[in-house]
Structure 1
Amino acid sequence: MIAASVGSILRSFVDGVIVLNDRHEIIWHDLSEEISLAAKAGLPISELIPSAGRLDFSRYRAHSTVNGVPKYVNYSTFPIQRDGETIAVFSLSTNESKLKDWLHQTIEIKRQALEKEKNQRNERNGTTFSFPDIKGKSLAIKGLIKEAQAIALHNADVLIVGETGTGKELFAQSMHNHSPRAKSPFVAINCAAIPENLLESTLFGTVKGAFTGATDQIGLFEYAKDGTLFLDEINSMPMTLQSKLMRVLQERLVRRVGSNEVTPVECTVISASNEDPEKLIEEGKMRLDLFYRIAHTSIYIPPLRERKEDIRFFTDYFLAYYSKKFSKYVPPFSEELLEVFLAYPWPGNTRELEHLIENVVIRASETDEAIEVDHLPAYMRRKIFADPGYRAIEQKQKETKKRPLTSIFSASHVHYIQQTLEETGWNISKTAKKLGITRQSLQYHIKKHGLGKRD
């Protein structure tokens, strides 16, 4: 009666129990499926319970194979002792074969769901980004998002102007997804990536026999239907093709190469230029009439060097992102390096900063106290050292060393940081806010100056 009750209790949280005496003889058991299968296979008890006589907690192994598939059991074995002598052993086992199968099934279902969602999204309209994906802390970028959202609600052609790496396509896709055309296709083409003789047929389409090898093929204007056609780097489009593009946009009709028939253009056109259109017009690289045609409304994305708040924001954002991606702790950036970042012109803008921080996260050691200029790749150090902004910072640091009382890291300021920490009860967030610095910066100074709670 008692044994049955004990067995019932044990079965409620384990799949198998086996008890041996000091001669390795089974004196009681309630075997799990896998151990039963192994026993039927004629394996000795020493093979089933290799840890008899000692504590062996949470061992994991395949006890048997059924139809070529290993059956896994997690078991824990405990000795029963009297006066320091082992008189018996009991082992508890948990069948994890089914759990493992369920886990694999769950992962596979999740993978298929994500793949299906991704395919549906791409099949639905061909975009990846929307306005929540646009990051930034500066007033300039926040105002720009509001402006773009307002423009997106109308079916007006738009010109986006911004340097390389500022996120022009990110804005273009976001505007499409914010517009009434969100369920229609978003079609993008880089005008600089396609040869001139192919660009015309790619945009407008062809009919069979128009030229050697030509087939009946719709162009991107037709393919976009009532969605959005994104012409990236339109400033690279040849002048001869600009006149044809202007006519299509003016008449809202497209004629395939080699055809006399015209097809109505229903899509909205978003164009992007990484150069100043007015300068392009002066240099004869862009037609004035095309500029007025594509720029019913226009958006200018300021370069990163003009958005100092965003340099600090993206530094912290990408550091956290890639630390999580690579499952790696990375120390904060030193204040000296952050000053260098703020002074550097970032010709590649946000893309350049992101790639740099990804590189730094890979190279940095978890034992470093802070990320310094020396952690940057050699090519980046050369660019920074050659920049006038860095030389100005270097000169400022030399003057600071000559006048240590004016340094933020002087003894009085270290004492002030310690005092503020004591006042807030060593609350890092509150202290950082009172000092006007970031949490990472405060933690860096705590480690650098060896600050600690007073007894």
Structure 2
Amino acid sequence: MEMIFTQKNVEKILDHVEEGIQIIDGRGRIVYFNKAAAEHEEIKREEAVGKHILDIYPSLDPETSTLLRAIEKGVPTFDIQQTFLNYKGKKITTINSSFPIKAKGKIIGAIEISRNITDVKELSEKVVALQEQLIDKKKGKKSNKNGDSAQFTFFDIIGRSKEMVKVKGLAMKAAQTASPVLIYGETGTGKELFVHAIHTASCRRDKPFIAQNCGALPAALLESILFGTVKGSFTGADNRAGLFELANGGTLFLDEINSMPIELQVKLLRVLQDGRIRRVGDSKTRQVDVRIIAASNEDPLSAVENKRLRRDLYYRLNVISLKLPELKDRKGDIPILTKHFVDKFNNKLNKEVLKVSDEVLEVFENYDWPGNVRELEHVIEGTMNLMDGNIITIDCLPMYFEKITKRSLKKEIDIKNVPLNEALKSLEIEMIKNALREGDGNISHAADSLKIPRQTLQYKIKKYKLQ
């Protein structure tokens, strides 16, 4: 069946897109204003259509209006950041792409597609707050812990498994250098904890620590946040330092580096090579001394292959590389992590929970923890919020753990049908696990409770890969 696109049909379709769309005629009058544009800019369509664009946006002029420039110059512009006031005095920031409309070689109007990013005002306020804290620090005032200081140390990283002991040892060595660090770990494995700890153990510990997530931000906005702006670099821009300048002498943590727009990765590479930055719209460069720590929630080599991370940037960042283990690969840490979170939420929630039952620990050890340590923390917090009594039992856990409980029960039943040597092996493993749990991971205490030499227990732990 042939589909007919009438003007009314097209307008209905455009009312369902998230971007704001405006069309002006050759004289600058608004002839179309979709639903998203009206909502983003808090202007009724009937108030806008038919009006000249400068009547609706009086803070703009023929030079700063991207739509009027498209008519005058006859060329499209892409991803231009613009801050302006509408006729109601509301301050709006958008990322615009504008295109001239031509018919028979003549420009008859222009169309603009815009994304409203006013809701990132919070990020701008954070930049201002960081500036004020740095100024206060120079004046000898005490800065607060929520701004330009790391909050965690290696003491805050819980784990005694061989996997965690190894990565903590490497991180401690990394703290003593000034080289870039690239940390890779699945969501919830504790990347930010390690970044904070590296900074607080370094010689830069008394200098600024600033973190910025590189994901879900338009390239133009992220560029101005990182490198700063000069007045006039885009409509509404002021002279403002970026995060590189604010972090001078200290550490800049770039989280989700694999989500940074490719065009910005080129600028970041230049900073890593020569330590110089240029504010958006500026002609001069500024020297900065900043240690970069970057983190990725996907394998960096995979990000390189999928063209989300430049190969040259990867090699420049990967001077020191840390891969954080998933919780399913360090299950020996589950008992001490569980105890840590119970203690934490006893204080936070004013509870008196004594422990978790052995059955709960067994369920925890049989679960794969796709959300890693963060998921374990949230499970403990949610359970303690709703439970009665002072021992966390199976009945207290979220419903999705029922499958794990049934799987454990089936395992107990199935053991009756295996050869004696296999059954004895399973029993030995469970006894060693219980002894390690009750001994809080201490091998000497566990060996005493099992009435076997410490060396024998170490051999069996290695044999069964229990730590």
Q: TM-score range by the shorter chain?
A: 0.5 to 0.7
TM-score by length of 2: 0.57
Identify the residue that residue 89 of structure 2 maps to in structure 1: none
Q: 1:253: how far off?
A: 1.0
Of 215, 224, 232 in structure 2, the residue corresponding to residue 209 of structure 1 is: 232
Q: 1:182: how far off?
A: 1.1
Question: Secondary structure of the residue that 1:298 maps to in structure 2?
Answer: strand
Change (3 A) 1:193 1:127: farther
Identify the residue that residue 320 of structure 2 maps to in structure 1: 297
Kindly provide the amino acid, as one letter, of the partner of residue 270 in structure 2. Answer: R
Q: 1:336: how far off?
A: 3.0
Of 397, 403, 417 in structure 2, the residue corresponding to residue 376 of structure 1 is: 397
Kindly provide the amino acid, as one letter, of the partner of residue 371 in structure 2. Answer: G
Structure 1 segment 388-407 matched on structure 2, within 5 A: 392-399=407-414
Aligned-partner Cα distance in 1 for 2:445–2:268:
58
Aligned-partner Cα distance in 1 for 2:304–2:348:
44
Aligned-partner Cα distance in 2 for 1:131–1:197:
36
**Cα displacement string for residues 320-359 of structure 1 (whole angstroms, at most 9, x for unaligned residues):** 3323443433353333332221121212111110111011
Q: 1:125: how far off?
A: 4.4
Change (3 A) 1:177 1:395: same
Change (3 A) 1:348 1:202: same
Indicate if the aligned counterparts of 2:147 and 2:210 stay in contact, CA closer than 8 A: no
Aligned-partner Cα distance in 1 for 2:445–2:232:
74
Indicate if the aligned counterparts of 1:185 and 1:228 stay in contact, CA closer than 8 A: yes
Q: 1:310: how far off?
A: 1.0
Q: 1:203: how far off?
A: 0.6
Q: 1:201: how far off?
A: 0.6
Identify the residue that residue 181 of structure 2 maps to in structure 1: 158
Indicate if the aligned counterparts of 1:331 and 1:366 stay in contact, CA closer than 8 A: no
Identify the residue that residue 310 of structure 1 maps to in structure 2: 333
Aligned-partner Cα distance in 1 for 2:224–2:447:
59
Identify the residue that residue 53 of structure 2 maps to in structure 1: none
Indicate if the aligned counterparts of 2:359 and 2:393 stay in contact, CA closer than 8 A: no
Identify the residue that residue 69 of structure 1 maps to in structure 2: none
Question: Secondary structure of the residue that 2:355 maps to in structure 1?
Answer: coil
Indicate if the aligned counterparts of 1:188 and 1:230 stay in contact, CA closer than 8 A: yes
Identify the residue that residue 158 of structure 2 maps to in structure 1: 135
Q: Which runs of 5+ in 1 are unaligned?
A: 1-117, 418-428, 437-455
Identify the residue that residue 381 of structure 2 maps to in structure 1: 358
Aligned-partner Cα distance in 1 for 2:352–2:417:
35
Kindly provide the amino acid, as one letter, of the partner of residue 377 in structure 1. Answer: P
Kindly provide the amino acid, as one letter, of the partner of residue 376 in structure 1. Answer: L
Change (3 A) 1:135 1:393: same
Identify the residue that residue 449 of structure 2 maps to in structure 1: 434
- Aligned pair count? 294
Structure 1 segment 69-218 matched on structure 2, within 5 A: 120=143, 122=145, 125-218=148-241
Q: 1:400: how far off?
A: 5.2
Aligned-partner Cα distance in 2 for 1:150–1:402:
50
Q: 1:195: how far off?
A: 2.8
Structure 1 segment 3-18 matched on structure 2, within 5 A: none
Aligned-partner Cα distance in 1 for 2:445–2:238:
68
Aligned-partner Cα distance in 1 for 2:363–2:448:
23
Kindly provide the amino acid, as one letter, of the partner of residue 411 in structure 2. Answer: K
Kindly provide the amino acid, as one letter, of the partner of residue 262 in structure 2. Answer: M
Identify the residue that residue 267 of structure 2 maps to in structure 1: 244
Kindly provide the amino acid, as one letter, of the partner of residue 449 in structure 2. Answer: K
Kindly provide the amino acid, as one letter, of the partner of residue 397 in structure 1. Answer: E
Question: Secondary structure of the residue that 2:351 maps to in structure 1?
Answer: coil
Aligned-partner Cα distance in 2 for 1:166–1:392:
26
Indicate if the aligned counterparts of 1:330 and 1:365 stay in contact, CA closer than 8 A: no
Aligned-partner Cα distance in 2 for 1:125–1:244:
23
Aligned-partner Cα distance in 1 for 2:252–2:280:
19
Q: 1:193: how far off?
A: 4.7
Q: 1:265: how far off?
A: 2.3
TM-score by length of 1: 0.59
Aligned-partner Cα distance in 2 for 1:162–1:257:
32
Kindly name which structure, 1 or 2, has the bigger radius of gyration based on alpha carbons: 1
Aligned-partner Cα distance in 1 for 2:450–2:386:
31
